[in-house]
Amino acid sequence: MMKFSRSRPTAPEATPPATTILGVGANFRGTLMVTGTLHIDGEFEGDILSCERLEIGVHGVMRSDVEVKEAVVEGRVHGNIRALGTLEMKAGARVEGDVAAMSVVIEPGAFFTGRCTMLEHGVDSVEIDTDRSRPREYARD
């Protein structure tokens, strides 16, 4: 006697998050609303909304303050970065601005100037001061 069994319907596989690419030679000014990953190899100035992963390629230049889940910088950033997870600055990267992240990785050969705040939780709120004309206050014992 043969037994037949019905195959269970398989759950649809999750589609990988979309990748939006701003290629070499492209210049964009404005607001981008991105789902998934944003890879910048051109020049970008403006606001980035709803981005989960930000990648600044070797030729990429970004002039913006952003908040993302993850960021990888190989090019240049002029602005503040807040990553709820990991921020990586690869060799050859140039970041000029304040950063806040749960984990920061700076490879030898990367240039970073600014303040770094380590987050204890990815949802902590951090105020990034963009007024550079004010003198800085330092904590004293």
Domain that holds residue 28: 19-118
| Inside any domain, residue 3 | no
Q: So what's the pLDDT on residue 116?
A: 94
| Inside any domain, residue 81 | yes
Q: So what's the pLDDT on residue 125?
A: 46
Q: So what's the pLDDT on residue 6?
A: 55
Domain count along the chain: 1
| Inside any domain, residue 126 | no
Q: Give just the sign of the alpha carbon dihedral 98, 64, 128, 35.
A: negative
| Inside any domain, residue 51 | yes
Q: So what's the pLDDT on residue 3?
A: 57
| Inside any domain, residue 135 | no
Which regions in the chain score pLDDT beneath 50? 124-128, 130, 132, 134, 136-141
Of 68, 13, 16, 15, give the one whose Cα is nearest residue 40: 68
Q: So what's the pLDDT on residue 17?
A: 63
| Inside any domain, residue 130 | no
| Inside any domain, residue 13 | no
| Inside any domain, residue 106 | yes
Contact 19, 35 (CB under 8 A): no
- Report the distance separating Cα 104 and Cα 80, nearest Å: 14
- Report the distance separating Cα 109 and Cα 80, nearest Å: 20
